[in-house]
Amino acid sequence: MLSRNSFDEESGLIFSRLARLGLPQILWLIALGLIILFVPLYFIGAALQDDVSSLQSELAPLETALASAPTPLPLATQVAQTTAVSATLLTDNINWPAAMNFIRTYNPSEITITGINQVDNQLFISGQAANDALVVAYARSLETSGAFKRVQVESIVVAAGAETPTPLIDTTRVVEIVGTTTAVPGVPTVSPTPTITSTPLPTWTPTPDLRDDFEWDDTVAKTLFLNDIQRHNFYPTFDVDLVTFLAKAGRTYRVYTQNLTAGVDTFLTVSHGETTLTNDDASLGTLASSVTVQAPDDADISVLVRITNRGAYGADKYYQVLVQEIVPTVTPTSVPVTPSTPTLTPTLTNTAVSTNTPIPSTPPTATPDLRDDFEPDEVDAPLIAVGETQAHSFYPTSDGDNVQFAVKGERVYEVQTSELAVGIDTKMVVSLGETSWENDDYAPSGSGNFASAVCFTTTAEQDGETAVIHLENVTPQFEPDKYYTLSLVELPDLQLNVEQLDFTLASDATEPATELVALTATNVVSWTAVSDTPWLSLDLLTGTTPANLTVSANSTDLAEGLHEGSITFSWSTVCEKEIPVTLNVTAPASSSLNSDWQTANKPAVNVGKRTAFQGKGLVEFVIVVELGD
């Protein structure tokens, strides 16, 4: 440790040395120290200056962009603007899944939708229906769905070949009857002032379907029956046609094309199992194709035929395809007889007779059995299983077909014919014990559908009994190619909570009487409901189970007394249940003066939404629905 004296001595020594250096040397030392200090500071300052210049060059465009940007609105103003616009955005939003779900809610056996076109906020729904009442009912179901702002039947016309009906309402304009109130001293009355407004309707032009009757068959083959001629076309471009037929064990078939229009050049590819046969031109000088195929001896096979075109495509590029059973050609063979030794007869002339003469021998040709696979069925009816589809034919002459199946108690069965060949008009009778059901044509007259269908419900006591189905051809045509298919299915039963409805109303009642009908089923069932009288209305015309249907009875303009009607509920092809309905109209509950006032104050009726035709027959329609709330 240094003492104070030692520190003083060292300090004195340092100052004595500086005193000896002199003033000039001290100044130089100070200048050198300042130089050493400021040189690094200079370089640091230069680097900082470069960084500042770079940052200023980057900041300039940002300041320019910021100056050009609009001044943000206050938060409260932004919230107010968003709230004002949200209502418009929600209004313009269309719930497409819900709208399309209501549009496709119909019975396919009664109505067919052929096209849907959108123009602005309107949809033009075109299609065909069995009759005009079904069109009106379908339009009413769209209107009551609440998914559309407006629903209007634009046109109903008779389809080609159907009976020409008489229009009930002028379909060229929309008529609205609007009532205006006129004060009468002492008595409240209303004098309706009709105002007729003609509204031009958009013209709808349907797009014709130029494909053949068997499309779409590019991936799903259509059935080709023996000797059945199918007419196809190669349209649209690169169209491919597929057909399939049943080849029975050990038999030989020839499938070929014929009657090709100009520009068509068919190419056949026939396959079954691992075997594939092809042909382009059946012979020189023709563009038609032909393939011969033989089924194995031990089993029936399904043969797939693929028809392509090596020529031109178009809606007019037609050809015909058919399959026929053929008998293989047998080459006659000569069987020589072993020559015998000549025999000499001792006669006066000694003439030798030789018997060495070849005798030709041809094996007999078997006669093909052209009946269907279930013949004979006149005495012992073959079985048909639930869910099975069988192919039958009316051959030979006066042929009638019978099939049978065992029923279960309290079940619903539907038997139906389909895919009728030309010249077939089936008539069906189903017998179960002492009960029978009969049907000729289940489709409306004029539809061109001659198929038959029967729907029946069994009782618990009928469990295990046998139902026999008998079919005959109303048109007396009996050939091997007169085929049809027969199908049997089991359906869920549509259950209703009431068996009959009875209403009582005064003749001057202003409000209808209502009842609730509940519809249920073991599985989901699509149903339709139809009333047969105008004083009986339904809030739902179609739907799926479970559902609640409100039935309303209205006594307006009805005479006093008992009125009868019915409601028919339908599901599947021909299954129906009917509820009888009665309405007892009693004397008015108020004076005739009040009754007149109530009648005059009825709300306006818009009749422009309904277009109907008298009579029945296949019709084509256009319904316009306006989207929006």
Q: Which of 491, 514, 535 is the last residue of a domain?
A: 491
User: Tell me: the pLDDT tens digits for 448-481?
Assistant: 899 999 999 999 999 999 999 999 999 888 998 8
Cβ proximity of 629 and 88 under 8 Å: no
User: Tell me: the pLDDT tens digits for 291-333?
Assistant: 999 999 999 999 999 999 988 899 899 999 999 998 876 555 5
The residue-averaged pLDDT of 130-136 equals 84
Same-domain check for residues 238 and 280: yes
Other C-beta atoms within 10 Å of 173: how many? 13
Same-domain check for residues 508 and 487: no
Other C-beta atoms within 10 Å of 472: how many? 17
Higher-pLDDT residue of 603 and 326 is: 326
User: Tell me: the pLDDT tens digits for 77-91?
Assistant: 766 776 665 655 555
Of 331-335, 514-518, 551-555, 574-578, the poorest mean pLDDT is in 331-335
Cβ proximity of 279 and 310 under 8 Å: no
Amino acid identity, position 306: R
Same-domain check for residues 522 and 601: yes
In a domain, 133, yes or no: yes
Containing 416, the helix (H) or strand (E) segment is: strand 412-418
In a domain, 370, yes or no: no
* pLDDT band for position 116 (cuts 50, 70, 90): confident
Same-domain check for residues 501 and 481: no
What pLDDT sits at residue 562?
A: 94
The pair of structure tokens assigned to 483 is: 């085929």
Q: Which of 440, 470, 491 is the last residue of a domain?
A: 491
Domain limits at 101? 82-205+611-629
- The CATH number of the domain where 315 resides is what? 2.60.120.380
Higher-pLDDT residue of 594 and 299 is: 299
Q: What percent of the chain has pLDDT over 90?
A: 40
Q: Which of 448, 464, 491 is the last residue of a domain?
A: 491
Res 414 pLDDT > 80: yes
Cβ proximity of 258 and 288 under 8 Å: yes
Same-domain check for residues 196 and 268: no
Res 172 pLDDT > 80: no
Containing 599, the helix (H) or strand (E) segment is: helix 592-600
Same-domain check for residues 98 and 193: yes
In a domain, 50, yes or no: no
Q: How far is CA 164 from the centre of its chain?
A: 28
* pLDDT band for position 189 (cuts 50, 70, 90): very low
Cβ proximity of 291 and 278 under 8 Å: yes
Of 48-57, 95-104, 390-399, 594-603, the poorest mean pLDDT is in 594-603
Q: What percent of the chain has pLDDT over 70?
A: 75
Res 593 pLDDT > 70: no
Of 366-380, 433-447, 488-502, the poorest mean pLDDT is in 366-380
Res 348 pLDDT > 80: no
In a domain, 342, yes or no: no
Of 160-169, 261-270, 515-524, the poorest mean pLDDT is in 160-169
pTM of the model: 0.40
What pLDDT sits at residue 352?
A: 47
User: Tell me: the pLDDT tens digits for 248-300?
Assistant: 999 999 999 999 998 899 999 999 988 999 999 888 778 899 999 999 999 99
Same-domain check for residues 416 and 487: yes
Cβ proximity of 174 and 200 under 8 Å: no
Angle in degrees, 0-180, between the axes of helices 96-103 and 132-144, rounded to the nearest 10? 150
Same-domain check for residues 198 and 229: no
Same-domain check for residues 412 and 504: no
Taken in order 492, 496, 500, 503, is the CA torsion positive or negative?
A: negative
- Distance, in Å, from the CA atom of 503 to the CA atom of 584, rounded to the nearest integer, reads 6
In a domain, 71, yes or no: no
What pLDDT sits at residue 203?
A: 54
The contacts of residue 28 (CB under 8 Å, 6+ apart) are none
Res 487 pLDDT > 70: yes
Q: Domain tally for the chain?
A: 4
In a domain, 356, yes or no: no
Same-domain check for residues 194 and 91: yes
In a domain, 500, yes or no: yes
In a domain, 381, yes or no: no
Average pLDDT value for the chain: 80
- The CATH number of the domain where 618 resides is what? 3.30.1360.100
- The CATH number of the domain where 533 resides is what? 2.60.40.10
The pair of structure tokens assigned to 592 is: 């005739």
CA within 13 Å, CB half, 205: 0
- Distance, in Å, from the CA atom of 511 to the CA atom of 501, rounded to the nearest integer, reads 18
Same-domain check for residues 91 and 190: yes
The residue-averaged pLDDT of 587-606 equals 46
Cβ proximity of 85 and 587 under 8 Å: no
Same-domain check for residues 485 and 533: no
- Distance, in Å, from the CA atom of 471 to the CA atom of 433, rounded to the nearest integer, reads 18
* pLDDT band for position 198 (cuts 50, 70, 90): very low
Cβ proximity of 193 and 180 under 8 Å: yes
